[in-house]
Amino acid sequence: MIMKKMMKNIVLVALCLMLGGFTAYAGNTDRSGEAGAYELLINPWARSSGLHGLNTASISGVESMRVNVGGLVLMDRTQVLLARSIYFQGSDISVNAFGFGQRVGETGVMGISLMSMGFGDIPVTTTDLPEGTGATFSPTFFNLGISYAKDFSNSIKGGATLRIISESIADVSATGMAIDAGILYVAGKDNNVRFGIALRNVGTPMRFSGDGLSFQATEPEDGDYTITSNQRAEKFELPSMLNIGAAYDFLIGEKNKLTIIGNFTSNSFTRDVLGAGIEFNLLERFMLRAGYRYEDDVFSDFEQDGRTNIHQGLSAGFSVNLPLKEDGPRFGLDYGYKLTSPYNGTHVLGLRLDL
C-alpha cells in the first residue's frame, strides 16, 4: 500500500514537472521553420489519424508509441501493426510503418516501432543544368522507436520511448536521438474517465554532414591549384511538443460505447493546436470516428497566410475487427483520412493482428 502511494506521488510530481515545462514549449510562430526532422510529427497509424492524433487520453496499444506511450500498456498480450500512408495525395510522398507490442510480466509492455518515408525519384539539378542532369536521387527518412510502458496502479499508466532518427541522401546524412514520455490516468466507476499528458521529441540537435557539403575552390594565396573545402552545416533542433488530453466514455449497453475526446497541443516551433473528436464503438467489431483540429490564432482553417500546418479541419476513419476464433486472435482493418489544403488529403490504411 505504501509503495503504491509512493508511486502515485512520483507520477504526480512528473506530471507537474511536465506541465511546468509548458511555457518552454509554448507555440511560437516566430520560430517556425527553425526546427528539423518534422517527420517526427507525422502519425503513420490509421486509427489515431482518423482523430487527427487528438486521442492523447484514449489511445491504446501499439499506436500509443506515436501519441502517448502510456497507453501502450492497454493491450492484451501481443499486437502487430502494419500501415501505409498516401501522404498529401498528389505529392508522391508515402509513409510505411511497422509496430510490435508484447506484454512483459503482469504490469509491463515492451514495444518497437519503425517508420520510413518515400519521396519517389527526384531529378538531380545543378547551376549549370537547372533542368536536370538526367540522374535522380531519393531521400531516406527513417526512425526507430523502442518503448516500455507499465501499470503503476489501477489508475495510473506511464511509459517512455527512445527514438533514433536518420535522414540521408547519397552524400549527406544526419542522425539524432529523441525521448518521448507519457502518462495516462484512468478514473470513474467503469474506468470511463481518462486524462493523458505526453511530452514528445525531446532530444539531441541534429546536423547534416557528408561529401555533399564539400566543394572545390582555388587556393586563396596564389591561385595556382584547387583545394577541396568542407562546409559545416548548422545544427537544428527537434520539433518538441506537449500534448494534454481528456476523454469520456458514454457506455451504451454492455459492449457499446461513445467516446468524446478533447486535446491541446503546445508546439515549440509552430502554433498551438486545439481539437476535439468522437468515436463510436459497436460490439468491439466496428468503429467510426471523426475529429476536428485548428491552430490557435488562425481565424480560418484554410487561410494560407497564417497557417503553419496544412493538416487542418476535419478527419475521419473507421475500423473493422474480425475474431479469428472465439476469445482468440483478432484481425483488424483500419482506415483514416485527414483533410489538407492544398493537396487532396492524407489517406492511411492499416492492418492489425491481436494475438
In a domain, 37, yes or no: yes
DSSP codes, 254-278 = TTEEEEEEEEEEEESSS--EEEEEE
Q: What's the CA gap between 184 and 245, in Å, rounded?
A: 9
Nearest 10 degrees: Cα torsion 320, 46, 182, 24: -150
- For 44-58, what is each residue's pLDDT tens digit? 999 999 999 999 999
pLDDT at 171: 87
Annotate 155-173 with b (16+ C-beta within 10 A) or e (fewer): bbbbbbbebebbbbeeeeb
Average pLDDT over residues 57-67: 95
Residue 41 per-residue DSSP state = G
Residues 6+ apart with CB under 8 A from 159: 64, 69, 70, 72, 73, 109, 147, 148, 149, 150, 181, 182
Checking if the pLDDT of 346 tops 60, the result is: yes
Q: What's the CA gap between 56 and 49, in Å, rounded?
A: 12
- For 88-140, what is each residue's pLDDT tens digit? 888 889 999 999 999 998 899 999 999 999 998 888 888 888 888 888 888 99
Show the domain range for 116: 2-208+239-354
In a domain, 221, yes or no: no
Q: What's the CA gap between 146 and 101, in Å, rounded?
A: 10
Q: What's the CA gap between 312 and 30, in Å, rounded?
A: 20
When divided into structural domains, the chain yields a total of 1
218 or 250: which carries more pLDDT confidence? 250
Q: How far is CA 295 from the centre of its chain?
A: 17
308 or 295: which carries more pLDDT confidence? 295
In a domain, 224, yes or no: no
pTM: 0.85
Checking if the pLDDT of 141 tops 90, the result is: yes
Lowest mean pLDDT segment, chosen from 94-103, 199-208, 214-223: 214-223
Annotate 194-233 with b (16+ C-beta within 10 A) or e (fewer): bbbbbbbbbbeebebeeeeeeeeeeeeeeeeeeeeeeeee
Cα angle 99, 156, 273; round to 5: 65
Checking if the pLDDT of 14 tops 90, the result is: no
Is 322 buried (19+), middle (13-18) or exposed (0-12) by CB count in 10 A?
exposed
Q: How confident is the model at residue 215 (pLDDT cuts 50, 70, 90)?
A: confident
pLDDT at 306: 58
pLDDT at 30: 62
pLDDT at 275: 94
Nearest CA to 134 out of 143, 121, 147 is that of 121
Q: How confident is the model at residue 297 (pLDDT cuts 50, 70, 90)?
A: low
pLDDT at 29: 62
Q: Which three cell numbers stand for residue 62?
A: 501499439
Give the up-direction half-sphere exposure of residue 40: CA atoms within 13 A in the CB hemisphere: 30
C-alpha distances (whole Å) from 139 to each of 27, 28, 167, 292 are 29, 29, 7, 32
In a domain, 256, yes or no: yes
Checking if the pLDDT of 24 tops 50, the result is: no
pLDDT at 301: 43
Is 90 buried (19+), middle (13-18) or exposed (0-12) by CB count in 10 A?
exposed
pLDDT at 299: 45
For residue 258, give the CATH number of its domain: 2.40.160.60
- For 251-280, what is each residue's pLDDT tens digit? 998 889 999 999 999 988 888 889 999 999
Checking if the pLDDT of 338 tops 70, the result is: yes
Q: How far is CA 53 from the centre of its chain?
A: 8
In a domain, 300, yes or no: yes
323 or 305: which carries more pLDDT confidence? 323
Mean pLDDT, all residues of the chain: 86
Question: For the range 136-140, what are the long-range contacts, defined as Cβ-Cβ under 8 Å and sequence gap of 24 or more?
Answer: 137/169, 137/170, 138/169, 139/167, 139/168, 139/169, 140/116, 140/166, 140/167, 140/168, 140/169
